[in-house]
Amino acid sequence: MQNIDIPVEKFVPIQPRALQRLHKLNIKTARDLLYHLPRRYEDYSNIKKISGLYEGEMATIQGTLTKISGRRAWGRRMIIIEGELEDETGTIPLLWFNQHHLLKTLNAGQRISISGKINHGKKGLYFQHPEYEILLQSETENNSNLRNTGRLVPIYPETHGITSRWLRFLIQKALEKIPESLDDPIPAFVKKKENIPSLHDALQKIHFPKTNHDITEAQKRFYFEELLFLQLKKRQTIALRRQKHAPRIIVDRMYEKKIITSLPFTLTGDQKKCIADITADLEKDRPMNRLLNGDVGSGKTIIAALSALLSIKNGFQVLFMAPTEILACQHFETITRLFKNEGIAVALLTSSEKRLVSPFGNFSKKTELTTFTKDGTAELIIGTHALLQGGYHFKNIGLVIIDEQHRFGVEQRATLLEKKPNETIPHLLSMTATPIPRTLALTIYGDLDISTIRELPVGRKKIITKIVRPARRTAAYQFIECELQKGRQAFVICPRIELPEENTSRTIAELLREEIKSVKKEYEKLSKEIFPHRKIAMLHGKMAPKEKKLIMQNFSAKDRSVFGREDAVIDILVSTSVVEVGVDIPNAVIMMIESAEKFGLASLHQFRGRVGRGEHQSYCLLFPSSENHEWNERLKAVATSEDGFSLAEKDLKIRGPGNLVGFEQSGFHAPLQQALCDVELVEKTARYAEKIFMEDPELSKYPLLSERLLRVHYTLHAE
Ligand code: ADP
Ligand code: MG
């Protein structure tokens, strides 16, 4: 039996350089290669004679190449390859640009097959940039071996130096080596009942389909497989968690009441309900695994802070992790201020800053802090994920809180929680502002309990969202100036540079550089031309943490008048789309987003959530990059809806779940996102998973399935 979980280079011959590139596509094993599923197909199955061609159609012609030559054009910068194809009914010109290698691959007199769109030029019909294939003697009669022309041709996710054409070649080689009886993780009884093709057949059909029906049949199989894994994994995780213990954290109700009344605001009903959910969980000896799902600005931090305080008062340490240093600092400052009379020792541990504020003094040496985390002196420890790699030890962690949990990888969560069964692990509270419709949340986050905050704190003013057409730009700047005069502040978000879908000759680093360039450009423009008298700063991912922090401090200074130095105060913050999720600056009332149509609804809503946090009327200004009307539907949805949950539902309808929540999969291949769109399939696989799991929780009857599940991990992240 052929094992496909072996390095891909042991399966098919590959040059070392090509192998490196395959690794970039995350193709490491033969299975990875075989599961590198087409993104779409080009239909070249319309095989015709030259005399019957017409403009605009997609066609394949098989005939003799009568001429081929190259010449330089455009001041020698481009090479044009010209050829001519002949069949018994006529001839047609072929045209390629910058494909020098064709002069070596193709020779006049050869029989070839050509596929592509028929163009019409000055001299009549011709093929521009067609796919080609050299026909062997036998293939002129029988087209079954055609790979790039004359059939439904797969188009794959590509990367620099890896074309679909080469992938087709490689995958065809791999497919030749897999036996009919290839190991299939889907249990036989399921396949039979659902009429699912074998893995061998499905792979043939998905890569080299004969008909469109082959494609749908094979896709359904791969969707089924992915969803079944997801469902089983979820059940495994739940079962594993049930075997574990957690410390019981008994909440002092009198103290809880006292502290809640002493807060500077009254908690909303939803906030109270969430705290009740959490404290009930903490008192059990099974680990809590709760997701706090609340819209931006709904007040999740205070819930986290209260849960932490109550756990600490019961004698436990609490870890509070944020995705960025800026957020960690912000939480540290909020909490130390909020609970300054509660006598707790709070530590901030990030890669650039380490300190402990406690009733018995402040400390900032790493050695001191290492001791204090270990001996339990530090009670609340706030930081980024660097906390987990910093070589710290803790005495008795009762609760772990993860803010913006979708930003954390599964590995990091695993470091915290995956210990042996029967061991005692801390309670876990994760928080996210990514509004996920409940049905979807249950599928994806199925192993979590969910508490939702839908209600915003009272007195919050509605944020006014406007789409600003290019012609109104100057007026919008005047409006912003008016707000700045009142002492308010503004965010400007620069366009995201999109990753081109295929054939990227540019690396991500290059794109990042470009994104930073666009921030610098916008910064120059605003500070020189539009608001020369204003203090403007920029923020982007390449800046050192210290530098970022200073800017954020100066930006929030106006609000808190901590520094009291007018010259340090920033009016406008120009930032890349990485603008820190969760930053809380109530004095900022304008969120201006350039090229707004390039962002998803969830991102736009997140950005908008950066304003409207204080007493002042706030505005979100969406600047589309052109007068184009394609963006209308989505931008209008944002402009007319304030509620993240209903927006998420709209996004789900407009674009499907894949864009609402992105998936990163490791050890996992095909497009799970698409599968998640199919509610019926989601439910069906849930039933099978339940049946399999109830009858055989160890999956001992299904070793293949159990082995595959070990390799599958799911991580969620927002777009
Ligand atoms: P998010 O849920 O996005 O993390 P935060 O926790 O940052 O939101 O809260 C946003 C702002 O609302 C903070 O300034 C916080 O102090 C304030 N806030 C939280 N709860 C309430 C409440 N019940 N009433 C008034 N303001 C509140
Ligand atoms: Mg937050």
| Secondary structure in 3-state letters for 110-124 | CEEEEEEEEEEECCE
Residue linked to tokens 């799911």 = 714
DSSP string, 527-587: IIII-TTS-EEEE-TTS-HHHHHHHHHHHHHHHH-SS--GGG--SEEEE-TT--TT---TT
The residue ranges of the chain whose pLDDT is under 70 are 1-2, 137-144, 405-422, 435-447, 496-511, 558-568, 578-582, 629-632, 649, 651-674, 677, 713-719
| Gap from CA of 518 to ligand 1 centroid (Å) | 32
Q: Which of helix, strand or coil describes residue 625?
A: coil
Ligand 1 atom 15, closest CA: 299
Determine the pLDDT at residue 578. Answer: 64
Ligand number nearest CA of 580 is: 2
Determine the pLDDT at residue 373. Answer: 93
| Gap from CA of 267 to ligand 1 centroid (Å) | 9
Nearest to 651 by CA among 607, 605, 612: 605
Element at 387 (helix H, strand E)? helix 386-389
Using the 8-state DSSP alphabet, how is residue 392 labeled?
-
d(CA 617, CA 589): 7
- Among 430, 613, 618, say which to mutate for ligand 1: greatest number of ligand atoms within 8 Å of CB: 613
Question: How many CA atoms lie less than 13 Å away from 687 in the CB half-sphere?
Answer: 7
Neighbours of ion ligand 2 (CB under 5 A): 582
Nearest to 593 by CA among 465, 453, 412, 446: 465
Three-state DSSP string of 441-474: HHHHCCCCEEEEECCCCCCCCCCEEEECCHHHHH
Q: Using an 8 Å Cβ cutoff, are 155 and 140 in contact?
A: no
Q: How many beta carbons lie within 10 A of that of residue 384, not counting itself?
A: 23
Query: 327: exposed, middle or buried (C-beta count within 10 Å: 0-12, 13-18, 19+)?
Result: buried
With a 6 Å cutoff on the Cβ, whether 297 touches ligand 1 is yes
With a 6 Å cutoff on the Cβ, whether 185 touches ligand 1 is no
With a 6 Å cutoff on the Cβ, whether 433 touches ligand 1 is yes
Token pair listed for 23: 């690794």
Q: How many beta carbons lie within 10 A of that of residue 430, not counting itself?
A: 23
With a 6 Å cutoff on the Cβ, whether 380 touches ligand 1 is no
d(CA 585, CA 334): 12
Determine the pLDDT at residue 567. Answer: 55
d(CA 615, CA 516): 33
With a 6 Å cutoff on the Cβ, whether 113 touches ligand 1 is no
Token pair listed for 455: 């209600």
pTM greater than the 0.75 cutoff = no
118-139 residue pLDDT tens:
999 888 999 999 999 998 765 5
Ligand number nearest CA of 304 is: 1
With a 6 Å cutoff on the Cβ, whether 295 touches ligand 1 is no
With a 6 Å cutoff on the Cβ, whether 298 touches ligand 1 is yes
Ligand 1 atom 16, closest CA: 299
564-621 residue pLDDT tens:
445 568 899 998 876 555 677 888 999 999 988 877 777 788 889 889 888 889 999 9
With a 6 Å cutoff on the Cβ, whether 197 touches ligand 1 is no
